[in-house]
Amino acid sequence: TKQIPEVKMFDSTVNVVTEGYNFVGKRMSQMDTDVFEARILGKKMIVMTGRDAAELFYDESKIKREGAMPKRIQKTLFGVNGIHTKDGQKHKIRKAMFMSMMTDERLAHLRTILQEEWKRKGLEMEQKKRAVLFDESEELILRAMCRWTGVPLTDAESWRRAYEVGVMIDAAGGVGKRYREGEKVRTETEGWIQEVIEAVRDGRMKTEEGTPVHTVAFHEEEGELLDAHMAAIELLNVIRPAVAVARFVAFAALALNDFPEWKGKLSTTKELNNFANEVRRFYPFTPFLPAVVKEDFEWKGYLFKEDRHVILDVHGINRDPRIWEEPEQFNPDRFNDFVDDRFNFIPQGGGDPDTGHRCPGEPIAVMIIEESVRYLTESLSYEVPEQDLTINMVRMPTLPKDRFVMENIRVTGK
């Protein structure tokens, strides 16, 4: 077997922290390779990019998740020992619970809720002299998701809860204070949702069958309900990542601002869908994904040793010139003839969401972007004042610096 090219440095953590999204791509082009080894957070890791690497990453006979996700990310972003960390049969049973929420009927209901919430939000923003789209979107999405999942939320608490969920997401790539705040709000938010689960279980709160809160509260594994805390973690694994879509909403508004020629090309369902997909491809969100080698195997002449940690370069695959023509151009039309093979467009993971770890929330993420873009372009007029909209590629997760400030907002459509 060939030697996997190595980054010659005692530990590359500092580079990940100082180079962020560009860390992997820079090494790959410097060394002209799809795979390299580096020491990150004290562990030797195989970092890999490209469509074929994605296919390998999702081959469950070779790659597992147990032990892959750093505890600090579980303690802020995902919740400890939730679905992200499971393998095999345990994972499949848990995953079926999430996938059962995504029926056409339930998703159509969410679309209606989003349209109603945007109407309300438009009127609210009209009242303000100045609104920050990212913050408004987080609050809007939290309200919509609480309605859709069946979690009670009062108007008085919606901004605070949205802020706390936002802090949890933001803490994922943070150290020091940013990390500690994430941990703290996660504990609080889990407590809030755990109380809802307990109220549903002992009948104090009525729920409809088919709502996610009902599904999670009464989901059984080997004849037993989930521990109430674990149930809260998993219900939050539906609500939290939806709130994270506010980043894509801000990016979508930025795209409308930077590439205004696309505004007139959003009238059909397909055009709107292409635009949402291009936003998911073009703007940075998930940087990379971690996993572990299950047992020794050889891939493209390289030896992957049992227990070695591997990292998939999700961000790089979105910009891979072997997959995308002119990847640095924002061009929704590229999706007109794009053939998705499950490993070549993976902003939310690759493979099959039913059997593997691919995100179950892609239809929700796409729908939130579509309905936001639809409302912003069809029903609202606004000005974009002078501000700093640069995207810091070192910060993970990132967003336009001033979070997209809008002024002189007027509701113009229905």
Interface residue with ligand HEM, options 76, 286, 344, 398 (CB under 6 A): 286
Question: What is the number of the residue whose Cβ is closest to ligand HEM?
Answer: 361
Q: Which of 65, 6, 72 is nearest to 39 (CA)?
A: 6
* Stretch of 40-48, 238-246, 296-304, 381-389 contacting ligand HEM, by CB under 6 A: 238-246
3-state secondary structure the chain: CECCCECCCCCCHHHHHHHCCHHHHHHHHHHCCCEEEEEECCEEEEEECCHHHHHHHCCCCCEECCCCCCHHHHHHHHCCCCHHHCCHHHHHHHHHHHHCCCCHHHHHHHHHHHHHHHHHHHHHHHHCCEEEHHHHHHHHHHHHHHHHHCCCCCHHHHHHHHHHHHHHHHHHHCCCHHHHHHHHHHHHHHHHHHHHHHHHHCCCCCCCCCCHHHHHHCCEECCEECCHHHHHHHHHHHHHHHHHCHHHHHHHHHHHHHCHHHHHHCCCHHHHHHHHHHHHHHCCCCCCEEEEECCCEEECCEEECCCCEEEECHHHHHCCCCCCCCCCCCCHHHHCCCCCCCCCCCECECCCCCCCCCCCCHHHHHHHHHHHHHHHHHCEEEECCCCCCCECCCCCCCCECCCCEEEEEEECCC
| Residue 398 makes contact with ligand HEM by CB under 6 A | no
Interface residue with ligand HEM, options 27, 51, 84, 147 (CB under 6 A): 84
| Residue 349 makes contact with ligand HEM by CB under 6 A | yes
Interface residue with ligand HEM, options 365, 366, 396, 409 (CB under 6 A): 365
Site for ligand HEM, residues 166 to 225, rule: CB under 6 A? none
- Measured distance CA(382)–CA(376) in Å, rounded: 9
Interface residue with ligand HEM, options 54, 140, 151, 364 (CB under 6 A): 364
We find the least distance from the C-beta atom of residue 299 to ligand HEM, in angstroms, to be 18
* Stretch of 25-33, 236-244, 260-268, 405-413 contacting ligand HEM, by CB under 6 A: 236-244
Angle, CA of 116, 404 and 261, to the nearest 5°: 85
Question: Do 391 and 399 meet the contact criterion of CB atoms below 8 Å apart?
Answer: yes
Q: Is 121 or 358 the residue whose CB approaches ligand HEM more closely?
A: 358
| Residue 241 makes contact with ligand HEM by CB under 6 A | yes
We find the least distance from the C-beta atom of residue 185 to ligand HEM, in angstroms, to be 18
| Residue 144 makes contact with ligand HEM by CB under 6 A | no
We find the least distance from the C-beta atom of residue 356 to ligand HEM, in angstroms, to be 7
Q: Is 57 or 382 the residue whose CB approaches ligand HEM more closely?
A: 57
* Stretch of 332-340, 346-354, 371-379, 384-392 contacting ligand HEM, by CB under 6 A: 346-354
Q: Is 252 or 365 the residue whose CB approaches ligand HEM more closely?
A: 365
Question: Do 62 and 293 meet the contact criterion of CB atoms below 8 Å apart?
Answer: yes
How many residues are recorded in the chain? 414
Interface residue with ligand HEM, options 125, 266, 272, 289 (CB under 6 A): 289
Cis preceding-peptide flag for 284 (omega within 30 of 0): no
| Residue 285 makes contact with ligand HEM by CB under 6 A | yes
| Residue 150 makes contact with ligand HEM by CB under 6 A | no
* Stretch of 35-43, 127-135, 315-323, 341-349 contacting ligand HEM, by CB under 6 A: 341-349
| Residue 98 makes contact with ligand HEM by CB under 6 A | yes
Interface residue with ligand HEM, options 173, 284, 360, 400 (CB under 6 A): 360
Phi/psi of residue 181, nearest 5 degrees: -65, -40
Interface residue with ligand HEM, options 49, 76, 207, 237 (CB under 6 A): 237
Q: Is 352 or 407 the residue whose CB approaches ligand HEM more closely?
A: 352
| Residue 238 makes contact with ligand HEM by CB under 6 A | yes
154 exposure class (CB count in 10 Å sphere: 0-12, 13-18, 19+): exposed
Interface residue with ligand HEM, options 358, 375, 376, 396 (CB under 6 A): 358
We find the least distance from the C-beta atom of residue 68 to ligand HEM, in angstroms, to be 9
| Residue 366 makes contact with ligand HEM by CB under 6 A | no
* Stretch of 123-131, 250-258, 356-364, 398-406 contacting ligand HEM, by CB under 6 A: 356-364
Site residues (vs ligand HEM, CB under 6 A): 83-84, 95, 98, 237-238, 241-242, 244-245, 248, 285-286, 289, 347-349, 357-361, 364-365
